[in-house]
Amino acid sequence: MPATTRELRWTDMDELVAAYFLLYEERAAGAPVGITLLHERPTREAEIAWFVELYRRVLEGTTLARIAEVDGHAVGSCTVAPAGAGTDSEGGHVGVLGLLIHRDHRNRGLGRTLLTDMIDRCRAKFEVIRLSVFSDNAPAIHLYERQGFRRCGHLPRAVRRGSAYFDVDEMVLVL
């Protein structure tokens, strides 16, 4: 069954939290995880609180969230939240994008599908979308550039994992 995109559902919590927790396993195994993580894996309770807050913001209309679904399972998410203090602030026209694909479903076009869908939805809410990406994450940078994002900044040593440092590129799409 091909992937579809849809709205966030309350029932997505367990699958999204599980996909996020897998990132900590990947990092421990030395895999190149291109998302900034906490030093220690958060508790399930902390992730439930995160999801409740995300769901609340989606329901109130301040944050956009789309889910990639395969065979009835949430296998990826894309969120865009207003920068700064929210949509009623001077930076509220800028959305900050986050993208997560379950490790078993990467490199199958799900990121592109989610991103395309999200950009279309952002046009009615934001004027600019920005994101941060690890500078050595060539596949993600290529995906974002194909969708029209352009690099607008570079932060050396932005992420520290143990004794290793990673640079981060800032990218922007003006809608």
Does a structural domain hold residue 133? no
Does a structural domain hold residue 147? no
Does a structural domain hold residue 10? yes
Does a structural domain hold residue 44? yes
Does a structural domain hold residue 157? no
Q: What are the pLDDT digits (tens) for 114-156? A: 999 999 999 999 999 999 999 999 999 999 999 999 999 999 9
Instruction: Please say whether the beta carbons of 114 and 99 come within 8 A.
Output: yes
Identify the band that residue 1 occupies on the pLDDT scale cut at 50, 70 and 90. Answer: low
Number of structural domains found in the chain: 1
Q: What are the pLDDT digits (tens) for 68-127? A: 999 999 999 999 999 976 667 788 899 999 999 999 998 898 999 999 999 999 999 999
Does a structural domain hold residue 61? yes
Segments forming the whole domain that contains residue 116: 4-127
Does a structural domain hold residue 40? yes
Instruction: Please say whether the beta carbons of 20 and 100 come within 8 A.
Output: yes
Which CATH number fits the domain that encloses residue 16? 3.40.630.30
pLDDT for position 162: 87
Does a structural domain hold residue 32? yes
